[in-house]
Structure 1
């Protein structure tokens, strides 16, 4: 078996472990995902010693690595208690967390992180590692949100904007197939109350709606051909807030899958407004599929 894939043909599941309650929830979510995929779980802890080595004594470096090994052992024991047959690989690195997770995921793996780390800023809606992973990952990345023991909703939700989200929709279809649940494609388009003359606004809105419906229908058709056994619903609606409508819909989903669109930033990769809103407020785990990620069919 290829080192970067598991028995399902999907990538390996790589989870970041840092000792926080959020990371523990992510580890359990990742373990369940690994079981569904028929593969193993990779637990990664990054000490970030490389960035601080010049300021640390040899004893402090050894102590940090030992603490990391013990953390990985505890996390693995907790996972094994719930999933006794799951193969777990533990990986301790000296680099930064996001980079260590990307290396472990290789070309096709799925990175799973909690929405909050062990940092001291309790007001943050998304931890710094989760933010960096989401903004820079070139493979699928999941930020685990919602309750630690969520009730199953029986649906995977895919946020679809246009035909270039076909790769995202395919990923969501695979996830729904693994879970044996319904896939719901949801296309939300924004209203523009401040635009132009009333007649022009009405005509533009109608044209915009037709374009969105056409794109949604095209994606749904392709999926029905590729996944004939999958129960698929496709819905389109307009809203004053696209992120708000998707967050509300996430209340009734086990997983929300979206294309990882990014806005160009002066200080490196940044997330688009809708993507960031989902990662900060969704009521279920959010999986981002990179627009340019390998093997996912996106063309834009």
Structure 2
């Protein structure tokens, strides 16, 4: 793999750029994130020329390389103008963007991608590179959405499905602490999925609601125990759409933290993303941080 600068620090913030406006926005967001985390920023352009070598002329391939290097140089200049003290490295890769980003991140980097690239389909709310990067991730991935200069809300939102999501809630607590923000734990449950085809009685509904509230209370208490100084709130909501409730809640958050990559199931879309995760990535009003689930071989946070 061709590289303009050395291999990145193993805990760098990694951002992919392709010359599009969402990618430029993601790069500046990633720069701010790197400053916040006190980490280097590594900017990657995956040209994908190796995979198309049989179909590209020498001249076309060289123009692609020149364009990629210019995109990297422009991005580095933009970042330096806004964040002069940040250590930035750049990398031109001849393999595809998704592979390039995962290689650069290794086991401990955090990947940042824009919500849409140069695919030319404006109706798609998340480009294929962003979707594939999130679906295949073994390290945390942040999809930058809704970060267009809006004032910070001072809240990190975490989606809690059940007691197994305690790890993501604790991850979200660290993110909130890092941002000097509050943390809202949101557990959304669908009554229809809870009772199946049986018509529920009032007692059924109250019992199911109590079970869901107990799960959230247990997770909330565990987070509070480890982060006693953190401003913390938790809510359990009944909704016909888990994704819809999370998207609505994202209006009031600076970051939404969710469990990401998991073992494939019949309810997965793309590769290893659930339907709810897929929908949130397309429609959220704030950046979405996906943390790979246990068993997905992900490293510690960057």
TM-score by length of 2: 0.90
- For residue 212 of structure 1, report the CA deviation from its aligned partner: 1.8
- RMSD, matched Cα: 2.1
- For residue 185 of structure 1, report the CA deviation from its aligned partner: 0.6
- For residue 296 of structure 1, report the CA deviation from its aligned partner: 6.2
The answer for unaligned runs of 5 or more in structure 2 is 1-7
> Hey, what's the Cα distance between the residues in 2 that align with 1:109 and 1:250?
25
Counterpart contact for 2:138–2:299, Cα < 8 Å = no
Q: Does 1:33 align with 2:33?
A: yes
> Hey, what's the Cα distance between the residues in 1 that align with 2:188 and 2:300?
22
The answer for unaligned runs of 5 or more in structure 1 is 6-11
Counterpart contact for 1:15–1:113, Cα < 8 Å = yes
Give the direction of change, closer, same or farther, for the CA distance of 1:243–1:44 in structure 2 (3 Å limit): same
Q: Specify the alignment match of 2:275 in structure 1.
A: 273
SS in 2 for 1:19: coil
Q: Specify the alignment match of 2:84 in structure 1.
A: 84
Q: Specify the alignment match of 1:167 in structure 2.
A: 167
Matches within 5 A, 1:245-260: 245-260=245-260
Any idea what the Cα deviations from partners look like across 1:12-68, whole Å, max 9, x if unmatched?
211000111111111111111100001110100001011111222333222211211
Give the direction of change, closer, same or farther, for the CA distance of 1:268–1:253 in structure 2 (3 Å limit): closer
> Hey, what's the Cα distance between the residues in 2 that align with 1:261 and 1:207?
31
> Hey, what's the Cα distance between the residues in 2 that align with 1:109 and 1:93?
17
Counterpart contact for 1:26–1:112, Cα < 8 Å = yes
> Hey, what's the Cα distance between the residues in 1 that align with 2:75 and 2:270?
32
SS in 2 for 1:55: coil
- For residue 147 of structure 1, report the CA deviation from its aligned partner: 4.2
> Hey, what's the Cα distance between the residues in 2 that align with 1:94 and 1:261?
26
Give the direction of change, closer, same or farther, for the CA distance of 1:273–1:267 in structure 2 (3 Å limit): closer
**Alignment size in residue pairs:** 288
> Hey, what's the Cα distance between the residues in 2 that align with 1:135 and 1:209?
31
> Hey, what's the Cα distance between the residues in 2 that align with 1:276 and 1:203?
33
Counterpart contact for 1:171–1:296, Cα < 8 Å = no
> Hey, what's the Cα distance between the residues in 1 that align with 2:120 and 2:270?
24
SS in 1 for 2:79: helix
- For residue 222 of structure 1, report the CA deviation from its aligned partner: 1.7
Runs of 4+ residues over 4 Å off in structure 1: 265-268
> Hey, what's the Cα distance between the residues in 1 that align with 2:211 and 2:10?
38
Q: Specify the alignment match of 2:265 in structure 1.
A: 264
Counterpart contact for 1:239–1:245, Cα < 8 Å = yes
Give the direction of change, closer, same or farther, for the CA distance of 1:71–1:198 in structure 2 (3 Å limit): closer
Counterpart contact for 1:170–1:296, Cα < 8 Å = no
Q: Specify the alignment match of 2:128 in structure 1.
A: 128
SS in 2 for 1:148: coil
SS in 2 for 1:221: helix
| Residues 231-240 or 51-60, more deviating | 51-60
Any idea what the Cα deviations from partners look like across 1:96-134, whole Å, max 9, x if unmatched?
111110111110111110110011112112100011011
> Hey, what's the Cα distance between the residues in 1 that align with 2:241 and 2:173?
25
Counterpart contact for 2:47–2:94, Cα < 8 Å = yes
